[in-house]
Homo-oligomer: A and B are copies of this chain.
Amino acid sequence: MEIPSVYLERTVEQFASLPGIGRKTAMRLVLHLLRRERQDVEAFANTLNELVQNVRYCVDCHNISDEERCSICSNPSRDHTTICVVENVQDVMAIEATQQYRGVYHVLGGIISPMDGIGPQDLEILSLVERAREPEVQEIILALSPTMEGDTTCFYIYRRLADADVRVTTLARGVAQNDQLQYTDEVTLGRSIVDRRPFKGT
């Protein structure tokens, strides 16, 4: 498909370079932008520039932040004795949305994945080990995805934390809320029987 304008072509290429966006979708998005007011598109471009010029990462937990220290790490009412280790910024937001966690976070910035060439040295693991040695820290929660890469990363971090005086925990695994038992995979269902909990009849 030949594109009649080099400027259109370049913008379509940029959008098509984003994950999950093919050339046809990119074209649709760009032509949608072209139907907007010119200053709206310039505002779009401007937010992108402002983002990369101003975005920072929290010096403690490496979450995205507008300040040197993010709003969670700098909040004195959060429990700084517990650190929840997550893969990325979305996971922080997902856990925050549950309103079940009052501790702080540590964003690894990825997960060990030899297939993608991501090793431990590419992640914020060294800084986690350092944080775990601070006397106030009592518990490290490994909240990584229950996949092979997630488990590998958990094991690696667990070994690196061996000589730190902290309790290492991980997320409970079991059947998800509203799952149909007959469609639950064998591993999850088997584990949920082995890890069964006392029934609270209240």
Interface window among A84-92, A128-136, A162-170, A182-190:
A84-92
The binding surface of chain A is classed by DSSP as helix
CA gap between A51 and B12 in the complex, in Å: 10
Query: In the complex, which residues of chain B have a beta carbon less than 8 angstroms from the beta carbon of A101?
Result: none
Q: Cβ of A44 < 8 Å from any Cβ of B? A: yes
**Which residues of chain B are near A1, meaning CB under 8 Å?**
93-94, 96-97
CB distance B48 to A44 under 8 Å? yes
Chain B min CB distance to A34 (Å): 6
For window 83-126 of A, CB contacts with B under 8 Å fall at 88-90, 92-94, 96-97
Q: Does A148 contact B (CB under 8 A)?
A: no
User: Which among B28, B38, B49 is the interface contact of A45 at CB below 8 angstroms?
Assistant: B49
| B8 close to A55 (CB less than 8 A) | yes
Q: Check A7 against B51 for contact (C-beta < 8 Å).
A: yes
Contacts of A65 in B (CB 8 A): 4-5
A92 adjacent to B51 (CB under 8 Å): no
B64 close to A27 (CB less than 8 A): no
New contact pairs (10) apart from A7-B51, A45-B46, CB-CB < 8 Å: A4-B66, A4-B70, A5-B66, A14-B48, A18-B33, A20-B25, A33-B52, A38-B53, A41-B52, A45-B45
Interface of A toward B, CB cutoff 8 Å: 1-8, 10-11, 13-14, 18-21, 25, 27-34, 38, 41-56, 63-66, 70-72, 88-90, 92-94, 96-97
